[in-house]
Structure 1
Amino acid sequence: MTVDGLNLTMQVNYYSPFLLTHLLIDLMKNSSSARLIFCSSPIVSVFANLFCFGKTVNKIFGDYRISKFCVLVIADMFAEKLKCYRITSNSFHPGGVNTQIHKQFCRHRVLKYLHDILGPWVFKTPEDGAQTAIYLACANEVQNVSGRFFADLVSICKPKQLENQRLCETIWEKSEKVVKLKKDELI
């Protein structure tokens, strides 16, 4: 739990980018064009209970899945809400990247050993994992592309759950309340 009483994974992966983006909107609107890029994961397709905002989901990767699904929701919602300002919004999956974060999942000695041995062969380097984000930030061919989910430099299918507009709007509205947006910060 955070000092705000929120689930740590949700705050880091989801609420923080949601709030930061809202706080930067006016600056982006004054730009000739701007690109929002959100990091997500295809693991969201196998999520369980979505309506546990801020609470711990005691399932393997549950908090992570929910946070990454919510990221896809806001990437799409920002794409729609900001298109009249020439602000694009896309999400991407970096792939499995060999970073220190994996060590928290490898507490068992055997898992740690397997990760240390197989990690360099199975996971991308951080530099390779960053390529899609760099592409979305810099490539001319995607400067007007918005509302897409990318992996390995190409647009990929999004989870079917994103088609549920009511669910997406509920997530957006609850998130506005959780991060305590002021009236002038709402989009």
Structure 2
Amino acid sequence: MTGKVVAVTGANSGMGLATTVELAKQGAHVVMICRSKERGERALEQARNQSGRSDIVLMTCDLGSFASIRTFTAAFKQKYSQLDVLINNAGVVALKRSITSDGFESQIGINHLGHFLLTNELLDLLQRAPQGRIINVSSGAHKAGRIHFDDPNLTRGYNVAKGYAQSKLANILFTNELAKRLAGTRVTVNSLHPGAVATNIGVDRKSGFGKTVHKLLKPFFRTPLEGAKTAIYLASSDEAANLTGQYFIDSKSVQTASKASNPELAAKLWAWSEQQVKLT
């Protein structure tokens, strides 16, 4: 990984922070992409201390805002002429229905559309790398998911599981369609399930709601580093260099639910997503 430029979304805590530290230890130049400057700066200090690397940098971007994503990618392109690895790790679990600044239900808006736009905006830099890699953190929850094309923002009968599962299915469909579009290029794209990981996802930062449940379940969860291992493997291993359009658990390629490998559904989601983010 020495000298490679790696960008990690949601890098201020949990798996994103663990991924940052491990890849920096391997010699990568890691760009931590965080929404909050304050939380990001605390995490940056932690990442530099734990990795012993002073060249990790922080850049802010709100994945719930298409304008913020476009501002970020323009700034990123001013600094870097290529990107070797993009790890789309950030994710939200919205216990109560909330919407992004662009008016989308937050889970489909951030977990899928935010990363869809970010990836497309950075594609030219990934294609300039000797071997670009895109890694999308999905979840086994995709099995319960359905893309609600008639009501993607879940205005009727919202529940957190329905929204989260939809967004995680979208991550895999996006991966598969992008892999197809990038066939024959030097860029690979894969998705993964990290396992049940003890992170702050699902804990309301303002009210603290969800903390007690989190504390009770923590002993049964993987640590953020254990959860990050598959992303680290896909980002750094020689074995993964030519693998694309696959779904991984514990660094092994496995079958997804059949709907996640449906090419018509993937193409339909891509067309819808392109329209929503006004991709030109």
Q: TM-score range by the shorter chain?
A: 0.7 to 0.9
2:188 pairs with 1:88: yes
Inter-partner Cα distance in structure 1 for 2:124 and 2:213: 47
Q: Would you say the 8 A contact 1:40–1:68 is kept in 2? A: yes
2:116 pairs with 1:27: no
Query: What is the root-mean-square deviation in Å for CA atoms of aligned residues?
Result: 2.0
- Name 2:153's counterpart in structure 1: 54
Quote the offset at 1:9 in angstroms: 1.1
Inter-partner Cα distance in structure 1 for 2:177 and 2:145: 20
Quote the offset at 1:60 in angstroms: 4.0
How many equivalent pairs are there? 178
- Name 2:263's counterpart in structure 1: 165
Quote the offset at 1:12 in angstroms: 1.3
Inter-partner Cα distance in structure 2 for 1:49 and 1:21: 20
- Larger helix percent: 1
Normalising by structure 2, we get a TM-score of: 0.59
Inter-partner Cα distance in structure 1 for 2:106 and 2:223: 25
Quote the offset at 1:142 in angstroms: 0.9
Gaps of 5+ in 2: 1-98
Quote the offset at 1:50 in angstroms: 2.6
Structure 1 vs Structure 2: percent identity of aligned residues? 34
* Greater displacement, 129-138 / 45-54: 45-54
Quote the offset at 1:49 in angstroms: 5.3
Inter-partner Cα distance in structure 2 for 1:49 and 1:92: 19
Higher RCO (C-alpha under 8 Å, 6+ residues apart): 1
One-letter identity of the residue aligned with 1:84: G
Q: Would you say the 8 A contact 1:6–1:55 is kept in 2? A: no
- Name 1:149's counterpart in structure 2: 247
Quote the offset at 1:24 in angstroms: 0.8
Gaps of 5+ in 1: 183-187
Inter-partner Cα distance in structure 2 for 1:165 and 1:97: 30
- Name 1:185's counterpart in structure 2: none
In structure 2, the CA distance between the partners of 1:177 and 1:167, relative to structure 1 (3 Å rule), is same
Normalising by structure 1, we get a TM-score of: 0.87
Inter-partner Cα distance in structure 2 for 1:135 and 1:163: 22
Quote the offset at 1:167 in angstroms: 1.7
